[in-house]
Structure 1
Amino acid sequence: MDRRLTRWRASLRIARRDAWRHRGRTLLVVAMIALPVLGATFVATVIRSSSPTVATTLHQTLGDQAQALVTVDPCGFAIQQVPTGGRTCLSDQPVEEVGEADIAALVPAGAELVARHEFGVDLYTDEVRIGDEVLAATDAERVPGLLPLTSGEVPSAPGDVVLAARLVDRLGLDLGDAFTIASGESEVPATLVGVMRNGDQSGLAAQDTLPGDGELSSSWYVLGPVPVTWPDVLALNEIGVGAVSRAVLLDPPPRAEVPYYATFDPGTSAQSSTIGLVAAVAGIGLLEVVLLVGPAFAVGAKRSTRQLALVAATGGRPADLRRIVLSAGLVAGLGAALVGIALGLLGGAIIYLVNSRGDYPPPNLVLPTWELAAVAGVAVLLGLAAAWLPARSASRADVVAALAGRRSQATPRRRVPWIGVGLTVVGLGLAIVGATRATMLMLVAGVIVMEVGLILAAGGIIALLGRLGPRLRAPVRIAVRDADRQRGRTAPAVAAVLAAVAAATAAMVFSTSEARAQDASWAPMAADGTGYLTTYSFIDPAQDAQASFDDALSVVRAARPDAAFTPVLGLIPDDPAGFVELWAEPDPATVCADDLTEEQRAQDERCAAGLLTSGYGWGAQLLVDDGTMVAAAGLPGADEAAAALADGRVLVNDPDVIWPDGMVHLTLAASRDDAGNETADPVELAVPAHVVDWRHWSYGLLLSPEVVDQLDPASVAARVAPIGALVGAQAPLAQADVDHLRRLLADVGSGGGLSVEGLQNSSDALSNSLIVAGAALAIALAATGLSVGLAAAESRPDLATLAAIGASPGLRRKVAGAQAGVIAVIGAVVGVGTGLLLGYVLSLWQRTAGQWGALWETVVPWPAVALLALGLPVLAIGGAMVLTRSRLPMVRRMAQ
């Protein structure tokens, strides 16, 4: 044992001295290994910090002293309680209404209950109105430590409110300022008495402050010296009440005592698939690092050939030579672990500090613990793995040839490329089958096998290129032949470039396709930047629709005189509780039959599921337009649609409602009142139609005035009235403009509101693709540079010979550029092709098993792909030529 330690100490001393002597190469190797270490540490820190710890949960939920917070779940069903406080509703176990007395009977005797109620409210001042916020009301003075105040005091009297800093900034308030809280038809005055840190909560009000309308949930804080135990929580669950208990969080029960785990199995296949996908991505990334770092160790081993030969000549065994090179990997891995972990922790802390100033900050800063040991171990293993092949080659080197200065070349194995081709084909087949059958594990396995196969086949691709050598110019011929002869050095670099380019291309295709699917799921009613001024809702009586429209229009017109307004008309019932049932009957030939089996339904196109869409909407169910509104909407094909409406046709967005006679068959079932009584006899109409490809439900059936005239207004008890307007402005409406106009519309009526098409779009797929392409370029250039550096060291005698017989000084630069071009061109061409294929396979999987279904289309970001495919060879060749010296130092030839 002591002898082994002595040998390792000597090897590590040699490796440390060599690393210090070649600091540039050492820094490059340490940076390569430290990158995944930094990323893993950073991600672990962010993930740990994004979930509240037990202490944070207790402080945010229960303050300093409360024993529990019990909540009547709004779904009204029984709840299986997990210790963290999460709840799951069971639809087969309805519960009765629960009150404070029911809860008091199940909590420890003598406990005090403090009510907490949450309301959906709007907040507004004289300038701004903010909607859809959730505000809680409780006696905060009786629950100390509940509010994370940054300024002000705890609300104590009715009307006192503490708001999150993000809402205070949007409302433009200072401490002591008054504002209004609205919920439904109720409004109450309020005063800002404190500001709390941003987080999940919008704010807290004193008891008896919030209006009675719009209550979302009722909760109670349990105060007292006696803890709420797990049996108490289970008893509360039986009456449909959830509880977050201090005692349970500090001392959670065994898993077997939690009914949630007996009812639901958290270990679902989806989780396994996610873990498998993450593991696959991590594995490919680590393999990429090994491919990148390996040539750097090969450079060191080549430059230390004579030193290693001297060790062998003085009695060193092959194991000693391997140990010396492996020690270099060990030293680099340890250094990379320290650097990567330190930078990862620093980056995680910086991101926390930056995000803590945002609207929704992370709950706490938590540094990883056991993850750091795992990451450090991975860094050491990466160093050893990258140094293994160079160490193996060094132990097999010809000692006599090395001492004499001659270069020995290893004969490549011909079967390795063919094995790579076979693995590539098998992996592609597995990936396609996994994608079509929505089997994530098979898909992941196929992608990994395919990547490994391409890496093994890299040597064969170089050999094929070598056959073109005689037809090429001198610098390129020298580079191609050198790459073919030295496949052990060139193949890892080509594989690294190929893998990086393929992964980046696939990622760009996937992210761009996902962004396109997200955009496709959103169904716009008009072009981006168009405002939707809504002045009517279902609860407004029809006779007031015109007055509400006029008032709202005058308010917005006064605030934005540059805006253009196009009225939107709707068919609305005279009775505010009634509605008109009018729809287009589908062609019977396109209807899915009820007597089909599940297998027949899966194969029948008529039974295909409809696409889920989202978007803004008007208050009325049916719109009426003569073409004016559609033309102002500005969607593609709007002019043709407007002309069709002007001709008296209706608009539909489903071709299946067009019957063989070319008409749309409308059915007016009835207009019903709030008691369900029919106020009209059924009516059937056959009218001409125009089909549009706008997927918003408003265009599922848009009526023309001529078609409405065919309905008897008296019998259907409905009329055409304005329900809003399209707003077009020279300067686009920003969120601040919307908040201000909503405040101005607050007094118009319950239906008044304003939204803007396009404000919901936040993704920039092209920018993200360019970032991915830039990262792939950096990785590929690093791999190319390492290989070119090694090639320059090995080809120096050949270039010196060429110079001696009259070659120009610039030949060396041309050869270096050609060597870089061989690696970059092969890696870019094969990598882009492979990445496009992988992107198609992932898209196939998304169409089969993803949430987007038929909305998913394979979209290639050609600008980013072109940047990667063309920019990589250009930068690699240009960089190699610029950074290579044209004149060579004298090379001493050893006597042979």
Structure 2
Amino acid sequence: MDRWLTRWRASLRIARRDALRHRGRTLLVVAMIALPVFGATFVATVIRSSSPTVATTLQQTLGDDAQALATVDSCGFVIQQMPTGVRTCLADQPVEEVGEADIAALVPTGAELVPRREFAVDLSTDDVRISDEVLAATDAERVPGLLPLTSGDVPSAPGEVVLAQRLVDRLRIEVGDAFTIASRETDTPATLVGITRNGDSSGLAAEGTLPEEGALSRSWYVLGADPVTWADVLALNEIGVGAVSRAVLLDPPPRSEVPYFASFGADSRLAGSTIGLIAAVAGIGLLEVVLLVGPAFAVGAKSSTRQLALVAASGGRPADLRRIVLSAGLVAGLGAAAVGVALGLLGGAVFYLIQSRGDYPPPNLALPSWELAAIGGVAVLLGLAAAWLPARTASRADVVAALAGRRSEATPRRRVPWIGVGLTVVGLGLASVGATKASMPMLVPGVLVMEIGLILAAGGIIALLGRVAPRLGAPARIAVRDADRQRGRTAPAVAAVLAAVAAATAGMVYTTSEARAQDASWAPMAADGTGYLTTYSFIDPAEDAQGLFDDALDVVRAARPDVAATPVLGLIPDDPAGYVELWAERDPATVCPPGLTADDGAEDDRCAVGTITAGYAWGAQLLVDDGTVVAASGLPGATEAAQALADGQILVNDPDLIWPDGLVHLTLVPPPDDAGNETADPLELTVPAHVVEWRHWSYGLLLSPEVADLLDPASVQARVAPIGALVTTPGGLAQADVDELRRSLAGLGGGVSLQVEGMQNSRDTVGISLIVAGAALAIALAATGLSVGLAAAESRPDLATLAAIGASPGLRRKVAGAQAGVIAVIGAVVGVGTGLALGYVLSLWQRTAGNWGALWEFTVPWPAVALLAVGLPALAIGGAMLLTRARLPMVRRIAQ
């Protein structure tokens, strides 16, 4: 053992001295390894900080000294919960209604219960109204420490409220100002007495501020000296009450005493497919780092060839030579671990400080613990893995040739590229089958095997390129032959560029296709920026529709004179709970035949299942329009559709509803009588129709006034009445405009609402694609630069000889550019092709996995892909030529 430690100590000393002697190369290697270490540490810090610690949970939930918070679960059944408070219902075990006395009987004797209620509220001032907030109410003085105040005091009397800073800013008020809380059609005057930091909570009102009958939930703080134990929590679960206990959070019970884990523990784990996907992505990323760093260690081993040969000539064994080169990887890994972890922790802290100023800040800053040891260990393993092949090559070097100054290279093994080709084909086939069958256990290994196969095949691709060397110019011929002869140096760089470009291309295709699918799933009713003023819902009486519409329109026009409002009419049942049974029959030739098997139905276009779409909706089932609403919608083709409605046609968005006679066949079923009996036979109508491409369900059947008049009001028991309006302004509606208009409409009741098209989330796919392409460019240029640097060091004697016999000084720059071009062109071309194939496989998986179906389309971001395919070789060649010196000193050549 002592001899083993002595050998490692000497090897590490040599590696440390070599690292200090070649600082530039050492910094580059450390930076390459530290980059994933930094990313992993940063992500671990963000994830840790995104989840509240036990101390944060206790402070936010229980304040300074409350023992527990007991909440009556809304499911009405016995519940099972974890120590953290997460719970689920046992739907086969109902419970009776629970009150304060029932909870008091199950908590420690003498405990005091303080009620807490949560309410769905709208907050408003004279100018602004904010909707859909949840406000809690309790006696804050008896439960101190619930909210960290930035200014003001805790609420102590009914009507006093503390609000989060984000709501205070939107309401444009300060401490001491009055505002209004609306809950269940009840307006309550309130005063702002304090402001708390932003977070999940909207704020806290004093007990008695809001009427208890409108509460969303019923909870009680348990105060007292005695803790609420896990046994007490389980007893509360039996009556349908969940509890967050201070004692349980500080000292959780073992898993064997938690019934939740016995029943639902398997469901709480990550799916194996998800773990496999994460492992595959991480494995490819780490392999990329090894490919990038490996050539740098090869450079070090090459430059130390004579030193290693002296060690061997002095009695050193091959294992000692391997140990010396591996020690360089160990030193670089340790340095990268320290640098990457420190920068990752610093980045996580900066991210927390930035996010803490937002509307929904992370709950706390929590630093990783055991994760840091794992990340550091991975960094060390990366350094050793990157140095393994150079160490193995150094241990097999010809000592005599190295001492004489001659170069000797091992003959490449012919079977390795063929193994790579075979693995690539097998991986692509496995991934394709996995995507078709929606099988993640086949898809993930297939992708991983495909990437490994391409890396192994890189040497064979270089050999194929070497066959065309005689047809190239002098600089390119020298570069191609050098790359072919020195595959041990060139192949890892080509593989690194190839893998980076392929991963980036596949990622950009996937991101762009996903964004396209998300956009396709949203079905707009009008152009972005158009407001939907809804004045009717299914629960409102039909006779009030006109009056409520007129009042809402007057309010909007008074608040914003520049607003243009287009009335929207709907077919409203006389009975608020009624339903107009009117639909368009599909052409019988397009109906899915009955009795088909699942496989036959999948191959028959008539049996295709429609995709689910999202979008805003009016409060009526059927719309009636003479063309004015459609014309104001601003959608493509609105002019033609509006003219069709003006001509008495209807609108449909399914071509299969048009029968061979060119008409749409409508079926109307009169509503039953009070006893549920049919009052008349179904009415069948044939009407002309205009087909639009708008997928919103409102355009699935939109009636013209002429067609609506064909329906007998007595038999339909419905009439045409206004249900809202399209609201437009010259510059569109912003969030501040919406808040002001909602405040103006607040006095008309909860049935009136205002939404705006285009305010749904939408990702910047162009920006994301450019970021991914830029990252791939950086990685590929780093790999190319490392390989060109090694090639320059090895080619210096040859280029010096060429200069001595009359070659121009610029030849060396041209050769360096050609060497970079060989690596960049092969990596970019093959990488882009591989990435497109991989992106298609992932798209096939999304179409068959039941996630998006036909909404998912294989979409290629050609500008970003072109940036990789063309920009990478151009930058690599230009950079190599620019950074290479044209003149070299003469180098002594030893006779071979």
Task: Supply the distance in 2 between the matched residues of 1:647 and 1:237 (Cα, whole angstroms).
Answer: 65
Tell which deviates more after alignment, 6-15 or 485-494. 6-15
Corresponding residue number in structure 2 for 1:614: 614
Q: Give the drift of 1:231.
A: 2.4
Any idea what SS the aligned residue of 2:283 has?
helix
Paired amino acid for 1:256 = S
Task: Supply the distance in 2 between the matched residues of 1:423 and 1:766 (Cα, whole angstroms).
Answer: 33
Deviations 1:430-462 (A, max 9, x none): 111111222212211111110000000000000
Task: Supply the distance in 1 between the matched residues of 2:394 and 2:600 (Cα, whole angstroms).
Answer: 65
Corresponding residue number in structure 2 for 1:391: 391
Q: Given that residues 198 and 358 in structure 1 are in contact (C-alpha distance below 8 angstroms), is that contact kept between their aligned partners in structure 2? A: yes
Corresponding residue number in structure 1 for 2:191: 191
Within a 5 Å distance, the mapping from 1:368-407 to structure 2 comes to 368-407=368-407
Task: Supply the distance in 1 between the matched residues of 2:499 and 2:695 (Cα, whole angstroms).
Answer: 40
Q: Given that residues 117 and 212 in structure 2 are in contact (C-alpha distance below 8 angstroms), is that contact kept between their aligned partners in structure 1? A: no
Corresponding residue number in structure 1 for 2:792: 792
Task: Supply the distance in 2 between the matched residues of 1:675 and 1:742 (Cα, whole angstroms).
Answer: 42
Tell which deviates more after alignment, 199-208 or 722-731. 722-731
Tell which deviates more after alignment, 265-274 or 173-182. 265-274
The answer as to 2:299 corresponding to 1:321 is: no
Task: Supply the distance in 2 between the matched residues of 1:749 and 1:14 (Cα, whole angstroms).
Answer: 81
Any idea what SS the aligned residue of 1:869 has?
helix
Task: Supply the distance in 2 between the matched residues of 1:842 and 1:221 (Cα, whole angstroms).
Answer: 50
Tell which deviates more after alignment, 629-638 or 859-868. 629-638
The answer as to 2:130 corresponding to 1:92 is: no
Q: Given that residues 623 and 703 in structure 2 are in contact (C-alpha distance below 8 angstroms), is that contact kept between their aligned partners in structure 1? A: yes
Any idea what SS the aligned residue of 1:264 has?
helix
Q: Give the drift of 1:660.
A: 4.7
Paired amino acid for 2:835 = G
Tell which deviates more after alignment, 403-412 or 307-316. 307-316
Corresponding residue number in structure 2 for 1:221: 221
Corresponding residue number in structure 1 for 2:460: 460
Task: Supply the distance in 2 between the matched residues of 1:673 and 1:483 (Cα, whole angstroms).
Answer: 88
96 and 662 in structure 1: CA distance in 2 versus 1, 3 angstrom threshold: farther
The answer as to 2:606 corresponding to 1:628 is: no
Task: Supply the distance in 2 between the matched residues of 1:339 and 1:154 (Cα, whole angstroms).
Answer: 45
Any idea what SS the aligned residue of 1:180 has?
strand
Any idea what SS the aligned residue of 2:37 has?
helix
Within a 5 Å distance, the mapping from 1:683-832 to structure 2 comes to 683-832=683-832
Q: Give the drift of 1:325.
A: 1.1
Corresponding residue number in structure 1 for 2:339: 339
Paired amino acid for 1:391 = A
Task: Supply the distance in 2 between the matched residues of 1:819 and 1:661 (Cα, whole angstroms).
Answer: 69
Corresponding residue number in structure 1 for 2:32: 32
Q: Give the drift of 1:604.
A: 5.8
Q: Give the drift of 1:612.
A: 1.9
Paired amino acid for 2:614 = S
Task: Supply the distance in 1 between the matched residues of 2:113 and 2:480 (Cα, whole angstroms).
Answer: 82
Task: Supply the distance in 1 between the matched residues of 2:894 and 2:290 (Cα, whole angstroms).
Answer: 34
Corresponding residue number in structure 2 for 1:107: 107
Task: Supply the distance in 1 between the matched residues of 2:209 and 2:244 (Cα, whole angstroms).
Answer: 25
Q: Give the drift of 1:805.
A: 1.2
Corresponding residue number in structure 1 for 2:175: 175
Paired amino acid for 1:525 = M
Corresponding residue number in structure 2 for 1:866: 866
Deviations 1:706-738 (A, max 9, x none): 111011234434322222222222213211221
Q: Given that residues 185 and 749 in structure 2 are in contact (C-alpha distance below 8 angstroms), is that contact kept between their aligned partners in structure 1? A: no
649 and 493 in structure 1: CA distance in 2 versus 1, 3 angstrom threshold: same
Within a 5 Å distance, the mapping from 1:632-711 to structure 2 comes to 632-670=632-670, 683-711=683-711
Task: Supply the distance in 2 between the matched residues of 1:262 and 1:606 (Cα, whole angstroms).
Answer: 46
Q: Give the drift of 1:894.
A: 3.2
Tell which deviates more after alignment, 683-692 or 671-680. 671-680
Within a 5 Å distance, the mapping from 1:120-269 to structure 2 comes to 120-211=120-211, 214-266=214-266
The answer as to 2:309 corresponding to 1:309 is: yes
Tell which deviates more after alignment, 210-219 or 188-197. 210-219
TM-score (ref. length: structure 1): 0.96
Paired amino acid for 2:526 = A
Task: Supply the distance in 2 between the matched residues of 1:70 and 1:660 (Cα, whole angstroms).
Answer: 65
Report sequence identity in percent: 83
Task: Supply the distance in 1 between the matched residues of 2:215 and 2:677 (Cα, whole angstroms).
Answer: 31
Paired amino acid for 1:200 = D
Deviations 1:481-535 (A, max 9, x none): 1100000000000000000000111111111111111111111111112221222
Paired amino acid for 1:35 = L
Q: Given that residues 178 and 192 in structure 1 are in contact (C-alpha distance below 8 angstroms), is that contact kept between their aligned partners in structure 2? A: yes
TM-score (ref. length: structure 2): 0.96
Q: Given that residues 427 and 447 in structure 1 are in contact (C-alpha distance below 8 angstroms), is that contact kept between their aligned partners in structure 2? A: yes
Q: Give the drift of 1:166.
A: 0.9
234 and 542 in structure 1: CA distance in 2 versus 1, 3 angstrom threshold: same
Corresponding residue number in structure 1 for 2:78: 78
Q: Given that residues 670 and 715 in structure 2 are in contact (C-alpha distance below 8 angstroms), is that contact kept between their aligned partners in structure 1? A: no
Task: Supply the distance in 2 between the matched residues of 1:307 and 1:561 (Cα, whole angstroms).
Answer: 86
How many matched pairs? Answer: 896
Any idea what SS the aligned residue of 2:328 has?
helix
Deviations 1:349-386 (A, max 9, x none): 11111111111111111111111111111111111111
Task: Supply the distance in 2 between the matched residues of 1:477 and 1:387 (Cα, whole angstroms).
Answer: 30
Q: Given that residues 574 and 718 in structure 2 are in contact (C-alpha distance below 8 angstroms), is that contact kept between their aligned partners in structure 1? A: yes
674 and 803 in structure 1: CA distance in 2 versus 1, 3 angstrom threshold: farther
Q: Give the drift of 1:73.
A: 2.0
Q: Give the drift of 1:425.
A: 0.6
Deviations 1:536-582 (A, max 9, x none): 23343334333333333333334444433322111223454544333
Q: Give the drift of 1:407.
A: 1.2
Paired amino acid for 1:284 = I
Tell which deviates more after alignment, 147-156 or 669-678. 669-678
Corresponding residue number in structure 2 for 1:482: 482
Corresponding residue number in structure 1 for 2:580: 580
Q: Given that residues 534 and 725 in structure 1 are in contact (C-alpha distance below 8 angstroms), is that contact kept between their aligned partners in structure 2? A: yes
Q: Given that residues 71 and 242 in structure 2 are in contact (C-alpha distance below 8 angstroms), is that contact kept between their aligned partners in structure 1? A: yes
Corresponding residue number in structure 2 for 1:274: 274
The answer as to 2:18 corresponding to 1:18 is: yes
Any idea what SS the aligned residue of 1:85 has?
coil
In the alignment, structure 2 segments of 5+ residues that lack a partner are none
Q: Give the drift of 1:645.
A: 1.5
Paired amino acid for 1:172 = R
Aligned-residue CA RMSD in angstroms? 2.2
Tell which deviates more after alignment, 511-520 or 105-114. 105-114
Q: Give the drift of 1:602.
A: 5.7
In the alignment, structure 1 segments of 5+ residues that lack a partner are none
Q: Give the drift of 1:632.
A: 1.6
Any idea what SS the aligned residue of 1:686 has?
strand
Task: Supply the distance in 1 between the matched residues of 2:76 and 2:118 (Cα, whole angstroms).
Answer: 16
The answer as to 2:517 corresponding to 1:496 is: no
Task: Supply the distance in 2 between the matched residues of 1:210 and 1:673 (Cα, whole angstroms).
Answer: 43
